[in-house]
Structure 1
Amino acid sequence: MSRVTIALVALAGILAGGLGYATLVPPAPHTDNVAVQAMIDDAISAYDTKRSAAVAAAPAQDVAAITPEAINAQIESFLMNDPKILQRMSVALDSTLRAEEREQATVAIASMQEAIFNDPGQIVVGNPDGDVTLVEFFDYNCGYCRSALPDLATLLAEDPGLRVILKEFPILSNESIDAARVAVLVGEADADYWSFHEALFTSRGKVDKQVALAAAADLGLSPVSLELDMGKDSVSKTIQTSYEIAKALNITGTPTYIIGNEVIPGAIGIEELRERIANMRACGQSLCDS
């Protein structure tokens, strides 16, 4: 059986799934072409190990008689005798890649610690001195972010020890950038940012500058002054910091959460978020060994 045929067999054993995640650049899947090739190589290697032992014990003339056709037939027989090996390899590979991703995320988060958790321009809601911090990167025109808003609202209401950092990450449109600029100014003002945040995510249609200014005006802020200040360097710096963090952590879509040493892409739902928060309190990490 040719390596191409083996590849097709391997691909048939790979399971894929996804979560709600608005993105301009799709994240790399856990099992790509390189990973599939690695799976094939591992299967052949396992066969070669057995073959080498047999060859070592066989007379020299028998070794010379082994042909590529015979090898391919034996490889096919090896895989067909235990076809679930590809599924087990896929699971093991996925587990290894996830562990590598967590390790890389831990290093990247540590290198950006201050910018992620202590940036003076960021918005903090909930308990500013909470024992667990949840960071969300969002875009006001992200439908998945909109659907995840009730989850965050529930967590804030039920968990008095939760600190939430909201990172403006406008990646979907120019209108998103304008809305984010207004939002940064609202965050700097003496205003109820969470009410503004909810107003934008519960508005109809595309969220743009006018929608954001109207929501800010409802809080008593001057839309004229806000529009004049949208181009301030401090506003640009706050948004640019989010882009820099996203680049360092390979964040390519919204919503994306950070908790502990884990970067979590997609709207994973309130139960998953609760579990990560509980784990942080239990073992100091988002994923406990037990």
Structure 2
Amino acid sequence: MNRLSIALVAIAGILAGALGYSVINQPKSETDAVAVRAIVEHVLNEQAALAASAAPAAPEPVAPETAAIDPAELNPLIEQYLLSDPKVLQRVSTALENTLRAEESARSETALAAFHDKIFNAPDQIVLGNPDGDVTLVEFFDYNCGYCRAALPDMAALLAEDPNLKVILKEFPILSNESIDAARVAVLVGQSEASYWDFHQTLFTSRGKVDKSVALAAAQDLGLSPVDLELQMGDQTVANTIQASYEIAQALGITGTPTYIIGNEIIPGAIGADELRARIADMRACGKTQCS
């Protein structure tokens, strides 16, 4: 307790004693006792107020000073560090590539799970090969895609040699209006009793741009009426089938053709029959397209 506090307490005691003496020598009353308590409380309150005012105020937080970085000094240090270990850039590039690949894989798996039924179980999709196959290969294609045309023999070889392979074809016309017209005819062929695979091969082996007339002619060769098909091309059900492919592609980040899906892997580009075989074999072996 400081000197001021001691003095205040002493004064309070003296006043209380004096009033107590007067109370003893005079008739007791409630007023006298109240007066004593009031004086003591007043003095103690003043003591607390003075102590609070005398205490030093808490200092305001001061932001740490940041030294200015002079590029003229920093840049040579960075350059010296990189020159002393040039492979650091390679390590950074590899780490960045691995991080981006992992992030893309995580996004793809999430999207594949969300669109699983639309990808693998759509009621209007084209299924080739074994409908109950143990591995499913999905292809997004455009009839005017040169790489899709070049990849057709790969698909034919896989279907011919693998009796347990299920293939799903997704119309994904993105290259031209002619591609959209051909896809509309293809959807109708897929809904008919005609052989879609024969139609598919005919369009990809035709010369020049694949458009409505080429598609209708190929359908006619399979016994379908080109007049009826042309009248049905604008049906909403046809548009819905193609729109479903667009929605899946947007969700999965598919922007080109051909693009394949096997298991949880999205494979852009015509990677060839051998690569597709290897991934199919790994799916059977470990449930992934690349076994570790």
What band does the TM-score fall into relative to the shorter chain?
Answer: 0.7 to 0.9
In structure 2, what is the Cα distance between the partners aligned to 1:240 and 1:68? 54
Give the aligned residue type for 2:246. Answer: Y
Post-superposition shift, 1:75? 1.4
Q: Which residue of 2 aligns with 1:163?
A: 166
Which of 205, 216, 219 is residue 202 of structure 1 equivalent to? Answer: 205
In structure 2, what is the Cα distance between the partners aligned to 1:196 and 1:72? 64
Which of 260, 263, 267 is residue 264 of structure 1 equivalent to? Answer: 267
Which of 219, 242, 247 is residue 244 of structure 1 equivalent to? Answer: 247
In structure 2, what is the Cα distance between the partners aligned to 1:124 and 1:183? 13
Q: Which residue of 2 aligns with 1:174?
A: 177
Q: Which residue of 2 aligns with 1:221?
A: 224
Q: Which residue of 2 aligns with 1:10?
A: none
Residue 146 of structure 2 is aligned to residue 143 of structure 1: yes
In structure 2, what is the Cα distance between the partners aligned to 1:75 and 1:228? 69
Residue 192 of structure 2 is aligned to residue 189 of structure 1: yes
Post-superposition shift, 1:104? 0.7
Give the aligned residue type for 1:242. Answer: S
Give the aligned residue type for 2:248. Answer: I
Q: Which residue of 1 aligns with 2:135?
A: 132
What is the total number of aligned residue pairs between the two structures?
226
Post-superposition shift, 1:70? 3.1
Q: Which residue of 2 aligns with 1:36?
A: none
Under a length normalisation based on structure 2, what TM-score does the superposition of the two structures give?
A: 0.75
In structure 1, what is the Cα distance between the partners aligned to 2:243 and 2:143? 16
Under a length normalisation based on structure 1, what TM-score does the superposition of the two structures give?
A: 0.75
Which of 120, 123, 130 is residue 120 of structure 1 equivalent to? Answer: 123
Q: Deviations over 1:62-83 (max 9, x none)?
A: xx9x954333222111100111
Q: Which residue of 2 aligns with 1:50?
A: none
Q: Which residue of 1 aligns with 2:48?
A: none
Give the aligned residue type for 1:101. Answer: E
Which of 54, 69, 74 is residue 77 of structure 2 equivalent to? Answer: 74
Q: Which residue of 2 aligns with 1:24?
A: none
Unaligned runs of 5+ in 1: 1-63
Residue 56 of structure 2 is aligned to residue 89 of structure 1: no
Give the aligned residue type for 1:253. Answer: G
In structure 2, what is the Cα distance between the partners aligned to 1:231 and 1:225? 11
Q: Which residue of 2 aligns with 1:107?
A: 110
Matched residue SS, 1:254: coil
Which of 231, 235, 239 is residue 234 of structure 2 equivalent to? Answer: 231
Matches within 5 A, 1:30-41: none
In structure 1, what is the Cα distance between the partners aligned to 2:72 and 2:214? 69
Give the aligned residue type for 2:216. Answer: L
In structure 1, what is the Cα distance between the partners aligned to 2:86 and 2:121? 51
Report 1 or 2 for greater relative contact order, CA contacts < 8 Å, sequence distance ≥ 6: 1
Choose 1 or 2 for highest CA Rg: 2
Q: Which residue of 2 aligns with 1:17?
A: none
Q: Which residue of 2 aligns with 1:34?
A: none
In structure 2, what is the Cα distance between the partners aligned to 1:262 and 1:113? 12
Q: Which residue of 1 aligns with 2:54?
A: none
In structure 2, what is the Cα distance between the partners aligned to 1:281 and 1:137? 22
In structure 2, what is the Cα distance between the partners aligned to 1:264 and 1:104? 14
In structure 2, what is the Cα distance between the partners aligned to 1:277 and 1:93? 29
Moved over 3 A (4+): none
- Greater Cα shift, 138-147 or 256-265: 256-265
